[in-house]
Chains A and B, each alone.
Chain A
Amino acid sequence: MNLSDSKKKLALAGIVCGLVAVCLAIYGNPANMAFCIACFIRDMAGALGMHQAEVVQYARPEIIGLVLGAFIISFATKEYRSTGGSSPMIRFVLGMIIMIGSLVFLGCPLRMVLRMSAGDGNAWVALIGFILGVGTGAFALKKGFSLGRAYVTNKTGGMVLPALMVGVLLLSVFTSLLKSSESGPGSMHAPLILSLIGGLIFGAFAQKSRMCFAGGIRDVILMKNFDLLTVIVGLFAVMLVYNLVSGNFVLGFNTPGVIAHSEHLWNILGMYAVGFAAVLAGGCPLRQLILAGQGSSDSAVTVLGMFVGAALCHNFGLASSGTSLNPETKELVAGAVTTNGKIALVICIVVCFVIAFTNKRKEA
């Protein structure tokens, strides 16, 4: 089925992915974090012992499902193509930047859209930063930014990340080696089989529709093309309806339990870094997982960068805290961005500029 020959079908892909997110939220994923790539990679990094934040450790089957869903559908439809060799270490750094920016904001672009659909004003503020970041990346593209071409590699090269994901799945099902949170967001999850199926479906539809949050805005800026944005609008519409019907829609800024903070400048800068780095890396966190599933070793390296970035965020105190209610006093405790997080984020943005304007296409 060609999902991209009309805007209606693209919107349908977004709606299906939105329904997956709704199901996962209903069956136990954290409220307002039904499906977040950054948060879930952070949880997986915790499960693997890469960081020691006890409340965010769980081998999220959704991430495994996304990669395997893209791998299976691309293999079945003869679109699997093992490629690599396009500045892998720069992509690794971009993956780290994407994760640091996401965890300062508290969510990837997918979760930003989910939070927007639930009325979280902070996510709408962060959208400004994301658009500016993508715009800066698009400007760099216009100025000749390039990480160099990828080459076709041995067929098995692109299968490494999907195989590693199968390994993590087997460890989580058959052993007790992986860490698993007993409280906090990491302890809140839908049943494993449902999460895995949800991830597989989401991954397959994202592969077929080329869903990409950064790409959607990039295409509007560079070509006034709204195709990719249509997928996002479909996803947003489903989540908005669900939130309105279920009573989860709360318009405001300081909403406890949402896992968000109201430091506007840092919400903007966090998503600015994510948007900028995502355009330079050729896709948002979700897209990186999908590209890795369909054979790109370059994207797989970006994903590894995101894992390391997540570990750094919690080992060095870069991740922000969310607004919450003190369980004893019932007072509102405002979420905050840490000083380390602010310093790291400024460094990340500087590094993005260095990467963007020092890696140029070679003139013939």
Chain B
Amino acid sequence: MQVYLPIAELSVNLFFLVGIGGAVGFLSGLFGVGGGFLLTPLLIFSGVPSSVAVASVTGQVVAASTSGALAHYRRGAIDLHLALYLVLSGVLGAVGGVAAFSLLRNAGQLDLVISLGFLILLGSVGIMMLIESTRAILRQRQGVVVRERLPNQHNWIHGLPMRVRFKKSRLYISVLPVLVIGLFIGFVGSLLGIGGGFIMVPALVYLLRVPGNVVIGTSLAQVVAMMGATTILHAVQSQSVDILLAFCLMVGGTIGAQFGASAGKYLRGEQLRGLLALLVLAVAIRFGLSLVLTPADPFSMAVMGPGGLR
């Protein structure tokens, strides 16, 4: 059954859209990530213009993170104070990201920056995760008792000026690193159409030493608020949010995530992280190859102006 996407201006099979939404949703439920970093590339590779893909996936990420954020909120596992700082700086970063998005699109370098961004981000995160999870698996095999890293150890980042007390996270740290993390994720997330959960969680854990029980909830709450604001920014600035495309992905993603979450119970944490690392690396390599390999066609074309002529 074909469905006509009014903003992307093309017909796509409805089951294909819901299908990839579901498949990515399954993986995101399995690994506990938003899935934007898989969905945006998949849409671009299947012919959706990259500007529409990035802007619409932003809406899908909101839906994918909402149910998780609500569940964590009911359990009281969100540090709202910390999330507020992250959201405010994140929205600021998103304003910059959306502006850069429009500039790059007109200059013809958007695809390049998206490919480079995915390559660098996913490549480095994937390698770090792979090393960490292999070590964990090896240690387990050798029968060494794995000790959790103590979260309340301080480093130099905490000593910067402008200290603020975050009660729920039991932290008394400088607000500067928090704002920098928010700005960075807002900028990158709106430029690449990803929620940034896979950068946010390690940053909160390893840089700020936020305790494990509030990390996921705070990160999810931040993703919902920041990506919501980014969707509105994209709708106003580039007018390339396709609500029908986003809705099809949301429906598939929400259902897929439930099955993924229940499938995730049968796998161990470090095995999950290892698999996720391989997946992230595969996407990074795909982007890297597209940059380095001689393209089949050195020429390409694009329509100038917002969305072309309607």
Q: Are A and B genuine complex partners?
A: no
A residues apposed to B, CB below 8 Å: none
